Amino acid sequence: MSITTREHDVSDIRLAGAGADKIAWAGREMPVLRGIAERFRTERPLSGVRIGACLHVTAETANLAIVLRDGGASIALAASNPLSTQDDVAAALAAREGIAVFARKGEDRDTYYAHINAVLATAPQITMDDGADLVTELHTKRRELLPGVRGGTEETTTGVTRLRAMAAEGVLSYPIVAVNDAFTKHLFDNRFGTGQSAVDGILRATNLLLAGRTVAVVGHGWVGRGIASRMRGMGAIVLVCEVDPLRALEAAMDGFEVTTIVDAAKRAELFVTATGNVNVIGKDAIAALRDGAILANAGHFNDEIDLAHLTAIATACREVRPFVREYRLKNGRSVVVLADGRLVNLAAAEGHPAAVMDMSFANQALAVEHLAKKAKELKPQVYPVPREIDERIAASKLAAMGMRIDEMSEEQRLYAASWKSGT
């Protein structure tokens, strides 16, 4: 599909009213971002900066986009997943907030990339990505735009992995701040955010009872830990599959049964992948699955379940409920895949709650401000969020939650920095 207008491409602009209400509702849970907005409106630190963003188009992202616009930036926004767009929110941003949105829930692959290219056509000076598709498109197909780009941010683990690979090969053209790696991002968003919203997506799609059900969580990183703990909280019997012995050991001592994917395939009724890796539910595991097994993915790309193999060995395939596709297999069993193997929390539910995106997107806003000031001093590498930003966000969130903490006394500060006193 080709985009003919530079203004927007959304599913239904008449949804703007509902979208505006949804954006305002989410905003109530985002006090840290609100504080940044107040400062941005007076200081205008992004005055005249063109931002090109590829993020999930949700009510939380809308609040971020509005803050950046209030800071003086102009913003073009495309979706970072074909299924994650909230069409009412996209309509509200386009119709009421002056943000150039190119996103429709359910868009095909060609439209997904046409939308990214519509954003790139605005010649962004700062890029914001969730998964590095925009950066990849820029570095492979739109290289003529690279000299105009000052810096970028990256939201998720998989994106940071891809950018580090680009930097290691010497092909990254501009500095990128790894928002994912901030403590106030991955400790909360990846773990508690995905932990809750992946369960939410699975339940909205299936209305399954989790209590007493055997669930396998594949990957025990930040996302996997969160999902495993929330599944257990709902009464599921949780198996964990890992390839990293340290994380597997952690899972075991957290009280989960650790086992291989093929063993889990023989026993579990529901699977959730969260590895950022490819075909983690591959041919061997698929062959061992129980009749009726349900497969969901919470990792960034729809590569974690070998859907090509599943399709090849299926005799029939049909959507039995929204986001629920049943494959009838030659071996007589059926396997159910949620949301076409795409991020189940964003496709079948609304993504993370705003209270957690508050911190992720405070990091994004402050990282963009940092780049607007400092990009000239940075090399084309992947940079951490400055520690001082991370600490400011944590302090601000705690204050908004009404929690107070102690400060070290002078005696304690000296003690903590010395080596002389001991037993």
Binds 291: which of ligand NAD, ligand ADE, none (CB < 5-8 Å by kind): none
Q: In the structure encoding, which two tokens stand for residue 224, read together? A: 């996997």
Q: What is the torsion angle, in degrees rounded to the nearest 10, for the CA atoms of residue 17, residue 22, residue 23 and residue 29?
A: 150
| 224-235 burial code (b ≥16 CB/10 A, e <16) | bbbbbbbbbebe
Q: Give the Å distances, CA to CA, from 302 to 104, 121, 347, 372.
A: 18, 27, 12, 33
Q: How many CA atoms lie within 13 A of 17 on its CB side?
A: 1
Please answer whether residues 361 and 36 qualify as being in contact, where contact means their C-beta atoms are separated by less than 8 angstroms: no
β-pair type (334-338, 324-329): antiparallel
- Minimum distance, C-beta of residue 230 to ligand NAD, in the bound complex (Å): 13
Among the residue ranges 329-337, 350-358, 371-379, 409-417, the one whose residues contact ligand ADE (CB under 6 A): 350-358
Q: Contact between 56 and ligand ADE (CB under 6 A)?
A: yes
The minimum distance between CB 329 and ligand ADE, in angstroms, equals 32
Total residues in contact with ligand ADE, by rule CB under 6 A: 9
Q: Is 216 helix (H, G, I), strand (E, B) or coil?
A: strand
Q: Is 186 in the site for ligand ADE (CB under 6 A)?
A: no
Q: How far apart are CA 244 and CA 264, in angstroms?
A: 17
**Minimum CB distance to ligand NAD, residue 131 (Å):** 7
158, interface contact from ligand ADE, ligand NAD, none, CB < 5-8 Å by kind: ligand NAD
Partner whose binding site includes residue 358, from ligand ADE, ligand NAD, none (CB under 5 to 8 Å by kind): none
* Least separation in angstroms between CB 385 and ligand ADE: 17
Q: Which of 220, 342, 352, 370 binds ligand ADE (CB under 6 A)?
A: 352
Q: Which does 222 bind (CB under 5 to 8 A by kind): ligand ADE, ligand NAD, none?
A: ligand NAD
In angstroms, the CA 263 to CA 260 distance is: 5
CB of 339 to ligand NAD, least distance (A): 11
Alpha-carbon distance values, 300 to 38, 148, 321, 343 (Å): 32, 28, 23, 6
Residues that bind ligand NAD (CB under 6 A): 156-158, 186, 190, 194, 218-224, 241-244, 247, 274-277, 280, 298-300, 343, 345-346
299 by Cβ neighbours in 10 Å (0-12 / 13-18 / 19+) ranks as buried
Residue 60 binding ligand ADE, by CB under 6 A: yes
Q: Which of 10, 94, 295, 357 touches ligand ADE (CB under 6 A)? A: 357
Return residues touching ligand ADE (CB under 6 A): 56, 58, 60-61, 193, 346, 351-352, 357
